[in-house]
Chain A
Amino acid sequence: MDCNKRTGTLISIQDSLVKARFLGEVKMGEMAEIMVDGHLLQAEVLQIQPDFKNPQAGIAEMQVFEDLTGAQIGDLVEFKGKPLSVLLGPGLLTSIWDGLQNPLYKLGEQDAYLVPGLKAPALDVEKLWEFTPTVKVGEELSGGDSIGYVPEGRLEHKILVPFNLGKCKLKSIVGKCKLNITQEVAVVVDEQNNNHVLNLAFRQSVKSPIPFKERAIPSQTISTGVRVIDLLAPVGYGGTVGNPGPFGAGKTVLQHSLCKYALADIIIMAACGERAGEAVEVFKDFAELDDPSTGESLMKRMCIFGNTSSMPVAAREASVFIALTVGEYYRYQGYNVILLADSTSRWAQALRERSGRQGDIPGPEAFPMDIPDQIKGMYQRAGSDVGTGGSLTFIGTVSPAGGNFQEPVTQATMDATGGFWGLSQDRADAKKYPAIDPLVYTTSVYDSFISWDDRKNMLQTLHESNDIDQTISTIGLKKVPIDKYVQYQKGQTIDFCVMQQDAFHEVDACTRPERLEIINQAVQKLINTPIEFSQNEMNDEELKDLVKIKFDELRQWWKDWNSNAQSAEQMNELDVKLEQFIKQEEA
């Protein structure tokens, strides 16, 4: 055995938490490998304690990322010296990994089941990339600087000097040529005169964020295609959003809609502790769908980390940080990246399981005491970078226990994010999609596609309509004045025809800003114009009946327009229809 290796032996095993006795040095947070039953299992050092049995030794407490069945006291541990890291380089896009960046298709070639110890290289090591250098020998460089690029699909993937390098000088670099990720691209010399070989790919620690060049407040709104979001609860490139909802409220459908329609260069999905089937649907079915901006397969702009609910819990925490680091890497190259993490509650629960095993004093609902800080720290890694022109938008779903938004993770997320898309059980029960309640969960942090006044107008009408609805429920329709009833019907129309959307309809599922503007014009016209319904000879009840019939007809027409109107001419029909409606002319 290599005597330079730092090793230890297991002295305690409990679920995914182990302790090992070691002599010499162990670093906090470093990775280790444990030999169990002939397989090497990956682990991370969480804590270092004194060994009261042997004053020469120490005890390292570790979480293991794989199932430990068969582990025994005395099993050998090797400390690897490096913290948990992710391999960054060309080939990230279209990849589908587990939570530790093992490519799932490659693992599938070895076994249909994810048995402990199964490994495969994170990126394709044989694929050749056409490298074009952009720097010359002798140039001063430092971590994060680009030395050239390779085409990755439609994108220009910049080859960067690893971020952990300080100031250095380029000693040599290859000319334009084809290379794989293990071949030498360049050599740089640091200030201590050490040579560093650069490849197309390098490893980056996932717990140390890739820096911003010049961080800025998000200023450009993302077109997500979802009307209620783009109108009333928008998010900017580089923004953060928490998306809590009880089960069945439509978080998954919304995430899938964002995957399909949100305008961005890259979408990263961290399927963290959620159903495997949903991740599969994304990478198998979405591959056949077109990217809204390029027309290519949607998968070409995506990569997926699938640490699904039955996979080892310890790797859940890792999966979110790995995904974040990949997002930061592309942001640094100047791309707009959206990270969808589903669900951050499962991530928090993984921390809870671990801290419980470690015997930490529990905070509220047994979560670790510092969970709010950890959640904030995670969302803070998103942001817009005017220095590179890139951004990382972080949209995290939250799965509150019992659908109760007062629980610790939802509360901490509300505190940590700029936007908040709360899904309402009542709206979900009424099968209203998306179930974002516009009265409770709109956000003013980011700019919308419509003016602030229009937004206020729309919200006010929805509020009034909701109030009148409650009045009708308590005192009955008869006692509500006719003008209030018309106002109520207006709000209902906006809710039904604009706020609600059919996520599975090819036209209705996605609304772009131009169409949104046409809809907004119609909505404003409907709100701002008093409408006279004919009153001759009609009593109050007959008149309300008439109003309802008229609005029902309008809503049916509008719903049809939502799913049918595509040509410019058809789009304009909405305005014409509204003109007729407010004048109460027959078409």
Chain B
Amino acid sequence: MIRKEISKISEIGKALISVEGNPGVALNHVVELLEADTNQSLSFAKAINISENSTRFQVFNGTQGLSTHTKIRMHEVPLTAGFSYNMLGRSFDGVGNVADGGPEIIFEKEVSTRLDTLNPTVRLVPKQALWTGIPMIDVFNTLVKSQKIPIFAGPTEPYNRLLSQIAQGAQADIIIFAGIGLKFDEYQYFKEQLSQSGNIDKTIMFTHLAGDSQIKGLMLPDVALGVAREFADQGKDVLVLLTDMTNWSNILRNVANYQDQIPSLQGYPGSLYSELAKRYEVAADIEGAGSITIIGATTLESLEDPVPDNTGYITEGQFFLENGKLKLARSLSRLKQQVNGATRNDHRPIMTVMASLLADAEKAYEAAEVGAANDAFSQKLLRYREDFIANMEEPFGESIELEAALDQCWQILKRHFKPTETGLSKKLIDEYWNKN
């Protein structure tokens, strides 16, 4: 097939190029940029804005080195991602090119990266817990198959270690790693961890390193999720690790800025919410097929930043990491109610009372700072708080089964309180208090 070509680029900016007039390209379709003399392929680009006067493209490999004479060849299809089971164990860039120096892959099929919305009627109501061995998650914020949930953490927190730890024990057929704006050592860390745990053979890594072309980073989640979706459509339970979505949002902000879009908050485009939602909503348990669970990482300075703020409204809760601890107060699994009623009968009540006591303890802690927590009960709360942080909010301890973790909860309560001070029902007190 002979592909149409154009040979005059009228405008070259950061990540974007424009041509005059309308060369007959369709919205979101891919073009290839070629060196004028040698026909050597320089990059691919996507049409994002077309009118009869001009057409604008996002250039995957960046615009450095492009000239007004660079040739544009039309491909007349939207961006697709190659799919094959041979991708397992391998690494790719943001648009699906082999990136580990290994042999090229012969793809079984090309899958759409448009991420069309799954018809809600085809979604199953999630009902299956994914156990992690981390008490703060299993007891207090149970993770559920098909959940979409990010780790919120400051940039220096060990969020990638936590992400990797959750992935190690994950009950998933396929792990898709999608790293955007990663430092090289982070990429290497994940690769090693996945190898050591023997999970690498069921993992596909899509990686965009800090400093790589911005457009490739921008496209990466769509390519990774397109591939994940194909596995799920084929009946696999897929776990997607998205790190770090703040990097991705910042690329989105840069590109919106290059396109002269009117910014809403802190320079981010007004569409930030919809753009994040489009990716996270790919998580689903699909009737008659497999499932996609998404665990992300969102780095933040403050919870009020637009990226964590919008993410919180989209995802089904968040795990909040602070000073290396998984904090109960700001962590939430919105789907936990779907699964924690079917576990041990003390699971829900103990979760509630421990949280409420911890909130009181935080108040006592604040009071103690001004010397106002001198009564006996406040002192109890303070000791409880320390115990709780050390034993329940530690995510990197030994893996603990749910029932053992629940027993540990009773032991903590018993160490510090009288039964009536807990607010637990008499029935439960009778059943568990003296057992532990």
- Which residues of A approach B to under 8 Å, CB–CB? 11-15, 19, 37, 67-73, 96, 104-105, 107-108, 111-116, 246-248, 252, 273, 275-277, 279-281, 283-285, 306, 308-311, 313, 343, 346, 349, 352-353, 356, 359, 362, 365-366, 399, 401-404, 429-432, 472-478, 496, 504, 541, 544-545, 548-549, 552-553, 555-556, 559-560, 563
A353 touches B271 (CB 8 A): yes
A96 touches B51 (CB 8 A): no
CA distance A545 to B376 in the complex (A): 8
- Which residues of B approach A to under 8 Å, CB–CB? 22, 24-29, 49-52, 78, 114-126, 146, 233, 261-265, 269-271, 273-274, 277-278, 281-282, 284, 286, 289, 303-306, 309-310, 312-314, 316-318, 329-330, 332, 334-335, 337, 341, 348, 352, 355-356, 359-360, 363, 366-367, 370-378, 418, 420-421, 423-426
Chain A residue at minimal CB-CB distance from B77: A70
CA distance A365 to B268 in the complex (A): 11
A19 touches B51 (CB 8 A): yes
B265 touches A401 (CB 8 A): yes
Q: A431-B356, A544-B375, A560-B426 are in contact. Are A70 and B52 (CB under 8 A)?
A: no
- Partner of A476 from B122, B233, B282, B375 at Cβ < 8 Å: B375
Q: A69-B114, A111-B119 are in contact. Are A353 and B274 (CB under 8 A)?
A: yes
A67 touches B262 (CB 8 A): no
Q: How far is the CB of B200 from chain A (nearest CB, A)?
A: 31
Which residues of chain B are within 8 angstroms of A553 by Cβ–Cβ distance?
Answer: 420
Q: A70-B28, A277-B126, A309-B281 are in contact. Are A115 and B121 (CB under 8 A)?
A: no
Which residues of chain A are within 8 angstroms of B264 by Cβ–Cβ distance?
Answer: 352, 356, 362, 365-366
CA distance A112 to B290 in the complex (A): 13
CA distance A291 to B98 in the complex (A): 56
**Sampled A-B contacts (20; CB under 8 Å):** A11-B52, A15-B271, A70-B26, A70-B28, A72-B50, A73-B24, A116-B116, A248-B330, A276-B117, A276-B284, A277-B123, A277-B146, A284-B125, A308-B281, A313-B274, A359-B262, A366-B263, A366-B270, A473-B370, A478-B374
A70 touches B119 (CB 8 A): no
- Partner of A552 from B114, B355, B420 at Cβ < 8 Å: B420
- Partner of B120 from A70, A308, A352, A552 at Cβ < 8 Å: A308
B78 touches A69 (CB 8 A): yes
B26 touches A356 (CB 8 A): no
CA distance A433 to B374 in the complex (A): 29
Q: How far is the CB of A444 from chain B (nearest CB, A)?
A: 29
Chain A residue at minimal CB-CB distance from B337: A504
CA distance A69 to B30 in the complex (A): 11
Chain A residue at minimal CB-CB distance from B269: A356
Which residues of chain A are within 8 angstroms of B335 by Cβ–Cβ distance?
Answer: 277
- Partner of A313 from B271, B317, B424 at Cβ < 8 Å: B271
Which residues of chain B are within 8 angstroms of A277 by Cβ–Cβ distance?
Answer: 123, 125-126, 146, 284, 316, 335
B274 touches A309 (CB 8 A): yes
CA distance A581 to B337 in the complex (A): 35
Chain A residue at minimal CB-CB distance from B309: A402
Q: A247-B313, A399-B313, A401-B309 are in contact. Are A309 and B273 (CB under 8 A)?
A: yes
A275 touches B372 (CB 8 A): no
Which residues of chain B are within 8 angstroms of A275 by Cβ–Cβ distance?
Answer: 281, 314, 316
Which residues of chain B are within 8 angstroms of A70 by Cβ–Cβ distance?
Answer: 26-29, 78
Chain A residue at minimal CB-CB distance from B314: A309
6 interchain residue pairs of minimum CB distance: A430-B359, A309-B277, A402-B304, A247-B312, A12-B51, A310-B281
CA distance A176 to B385 in the complex (A): 72
- Partner of A474 from B114, B119, B367 at Cβ < 8 Å: B367
Chain B residue at minimal CB-CB distance from A247: B312
Which residues of chain B are within 8 angstroms of A248 by Cβ–Cβ distance?
Answer: 312, 317-318, 330, 332
CA distance A560 to B310 in the complex (A): 38
B116 touches A115 (CB 8 A): yes
Chain A residue at minimal CB-CB distance from B119: A108
Which residues of chain B are within 8 angstroms of A353 by Cβ–Cβ distance?
Answer: 270-271, 274
Q: How far is the CB of B46 from chain A (nearest CB, A)?
A: 10
Q: How far is the CB of A531 from chain B (nearest CB, A)?
A: 18
Chain B residue at minimal CB-CB distance from A361: B262
Which residues of chain B are within 8 angstroms of A343 by Cβ–Cβ distance?
Answer: 313
Chain B residue at minimal CB-CB distance from A304: B120
A279 touches B115 (CB 8 A): no
B363 touches A247 (CB 8 A): no
CA distance A245 to B306 in the complex (A): 16
A362 touches B367 (CB 8 A): no
Q: A248-B312, A473-B372, A477-B375 are in contact. Are A276 and B330 (CB under 8 A)?
A: no
A112 touches B119 (CB 8 A): yes
CA distance A60 to B382 in the complex (A): 67
Which residues of chain A are within 8 angstroms of B78 by Cβ–Cβ distance?
Answer: 69-70
Chain A residue at minimal CB-CB distance from B114: A69
A285 touches B26 (CB 8 A): no
CA distance A504 to B27 in the complex (A): 47
Which one of A96, A107, A277, A429 has the greatest number of beta carbons of chain B within 10 Å? Answer: A277
Q: A279-B120, A430-B359 are in contact. Are A247 and B309 (CB under 8 A)?
A: yes
Chain B residue at minimal CB-CB distance from A12: B51
Which residues of chain B are within 8 angstroms of A402 by Cβ–Cβ distance?
Answer: 303-306, 309
CA distance A107 to B348 in the complex (A): 38
CA distance A246 to B262 in the complex (A): 25
B115 touches A310 (CB 8 A): yes
Which one of B262, B281, B303, B310 has the greatest number of beta carbons of chain A within 10 Å? Answer: B262
Q: A70-B29, A402-B304, A478-B374 are in contact. Are A504 and B341 (CB under 8 A)?
A: yes
CA distance A71 to B55 in the complex (A): 13
CA distance A12 to B370 in the complex (A): 64
CA distance A67 to B425 in the complex (A): 54
Which residues of chain A are within 8 angstroms of B367 by Cβ–Cβ distance?
Answer: 472-474, 476
